[in-house]
Amino acid sequence: MSDCIFCKIIKGEIPSAKIYEDELIYAFLDISPINFGHTLVIPKEHHQSAASIPEEVAGRMFHIASRIGILLKRLDEFDAYNLHLADGTAAGQVVMHAHLHVIPRGAEDNFRWNWRQLNYPEGKMAEIAADISAKLAAKLNG
Ligand code: AMP
Ligand code: ZN
């Protein structure tokens, strides 16, 4: 898309600290990292949602992101990494070109996800699982 900042990065119209590129994907350092080395892996084709990325491209993104994560672990104080993808504004997506974050993590990095853990009322978990699996099967087969 012509006004998309990540499409401009892929075309070289906006500078980026490139990590990796092939025919399907592009990876570069996030300009405001959680930790140094924080990388974004994006499809070269513009997709707003991860759901519309072709399987081959999405697979490549996940594979390369994991490989980058392994390498980031070897940087200085890191011993782990998170993969993160925000799909939609309410989920925290700011740049509307789907991107997979690779975030190097260390036990002492002082970063905490604000990750809550609710409890299902009796019967609700099975009800939701049945609903989602039926709708997913209909979508995938339809
Ligand atoms: P999200 O909130 O998942 O949409 O993340 C968007 C990310 O893109 C943020 O972490 C930004 O720091 C990053 N970002 C925005 N503009 C640039 C840019 N020009 N170069 C590198 N990273 C960027
Ligand atoms: Zn784009």
| pLDDT tens, position by position, 60-106 | 999 999 999 999 988 877 999 999 999 999 999 999 999 999 999 99
> Does ligand 1 have an atom closer than 6 angstroms to the CB of 95?
yes
Q: Which of 38, 47, 97, 99 is catalytic?
A: 99
Q: Which domains does the chain have, with CATH numbers?
A: 5-112 (3.30.428.10)
The reported pTM is: 0.95
User: How far is residue 106's CA from residue 53's CA, in Å, rounded to a whole number?
Assistant: 31
pLDDT at 114: 87
> Does ligand 1 have an atom closer than 6 angstroms to the CB of 81?
no
Mean pLDDT on 21-37: 97
**Ligand 1 atom closest to the CA of 93, numbered from 1:** 4
